[in-house]
Amino acid sequence: MLFTPGIATGRRAVIFCCAIAIIFSLLPEARARPVRHRRPTPFSIALEPFMLARSIVHRAPRILAATAIAPIKVAYYAPRRLRPRPPRGAEEFNEADEESDVKPIRVAYSTSGRTKTAPTRAEEYDQEQEQEQENGRIEQRGDRPTVSGSQAVLRNGVAYAPTGAPQSVKNAIWAANSLRRKPYVWGGGHGTFYDRGYDCSGTVSFALHGAGLLNSPMPSSDFMRYGERGRGRWMTIYSRNGHTFAVIAGLRLDTTDLGRGGDVGPRWYAYGRDTSGFIARHPAAL
């Protein structure tokens, strides 16, 4: 039997068309058939602690593997509540909240330097009270007030002579007390011991005259050669050209008020002053 190429090709085409027809005839029936689902079978998986990163990077270099599996450190800012700042003083504290672990910060600062100025009247009164407590109570009042001890006490502008001082020192203090309300007058107390006002050397001359140590008033330049050189035990006179003051039993007799910065007249002061440029002299034996 001879094989004909045309007949073989036709048969193949017929067979292919029949297969296509069968597939299309079965396709709607397959779509209409309900799909049945099986229940999931329970199973368990053994978990290992964070080994996924190692399995992923096991082929990577060691430094990259160590970086991948290393714990991650996260830094964050925890806000804290600050208390109101106290007023300025020797030191300040910034306290953190009680729930925070931050320790309190101690801040220390120094105050600006201030030059020493003359004390106020209240400070003078405090000094007078302390001085009075140290030396004892006042024993006598009036024109000749005294206080026990060897140090004079200033109270309300009046100097109290110490009972342990020589009589001439007491007389000088009591005489100067009578001038404490007199005004400052340039040249006052030089023509006569008794004047309406006094300057610095006139005030010191009046006190020494009351002590029986001076017969006539002296100017400031003459006090630079008065008595003996240096400071005395009870009385010291400080002189220079243009000004003179005295320290008697610890109190300063002066016409210059350092607090006001001017001449106010004869007054007692419980604090000293700078003696630079002054010459110190004192009566003999005092």
pLDDT digits (tens, 9 = 90+) for 83-130: 666 555 444 434 444 444 545 455 444 444 444 455 555 455 455 545
> Which residues touch 109 (CB under 8 Å, ≥6 apart)?
91, 92
Coil, helix or strand for 262?
strand
- pLDDT for 205: 96
107: part of which helix (H) or strand (E)? strand 105-108
- pLDDT for 60: 57
Spatial contact of 208 and 283, defined as CB atoms under 8 Å apart = yes
pLDDT in tens, 224-271: 999 999 999 999 999 999 999 999 999 999 999 988 778 999 999 999
Size (the chain), residues: 286
- pLDDT for 100: 44
Tell me the sheet residues that pair with 253. Answer: 246, 268
User: Which pTM was predicted?
Assistant: 0.54
Tell me the sheet residues that pair with 160. Answer: 153
281: part of which helix (H) or strand (E)? strand 279-282
- pLDDT for 109: 42
- pLDDT for 90: 42
User: Running DSSP on this structure, what letter comes out for residue 9?
Assistant: H
Distance CA 26, CA 202 (A): 145
Average per-residue pLDDT for the chain: 76
Tell me the sheet residues that pair with 235. Answer: 248
Distance CA 178, CA 207 (A): 10
- pLDDT for 18: 82
- What's the token pair of residue 31? 């779509």
